[in-house]
Amino acid sequence: MKEIDDLNLPEDVKYTKDHEWANAEGDTVTIGINDYAQDQLGEIVFVELPEVGDTFSAEDEFGSVESVKAVSELYMPISGEIVAVNENLEDAPELVNEDCYQGGWIIKVKSSDNSEINELMDKAAYLEMLKG
């Protein structure tokens, strides 16, 4: 397992207490699990995805990630409607381990409240939570 200082935590995304990340581009937000989460889970073997068109509120469970070690629920960082799912994960869930921010993103959401993204943690706050 990686040391906290070795984690890949980009500055341009927001983080949740449940180890998801969110990157807003306009009112579309790309969401996945971050490097800490994929590192802790180990080899990911299955990702349960929601359906395009499903709507969720912030903190709702929207799917799960199964690894050789455990099953971990996925929680919405923001409220909105699913506009895309990463279908590549159905046949290649290991993409989350290989690059959790680019090829291993999980869903894209049309935000119903753009201000919610500002309630998430930046990299510094997330690191403090991990160290705390």
- pLDDT at res. 50: 98
Residue closest to 78 by CA, chosen among 128, 25, 29, 33: 29
Residue 35 inside a domain? The answer is yes
DSSP state of 6: G
39 within domain boundaries: yes
Q: What is the pLDDT of residues 70-106, one digit of tens each?
A: 999 999 999 999 999 999 999 999 999 999 999 999 9
126 is a domain residue: no
Q: Is the residue at 80 inside a domain?
A: yes
What is the number of structural domains in the chain? Answer: 1
Give the CA dihedral 42, 49, 12, 17, nearest 10 degrees.
Answer: -70
Find the CATH number of the domain harbouring 95: 2.40.50.100
Q: Tell me the per-residue pLDDT of 36-71, one tens digit each, with 9 for 90 and over.
A: 999 999 999 999 999 999 999 999 999 999 999 999
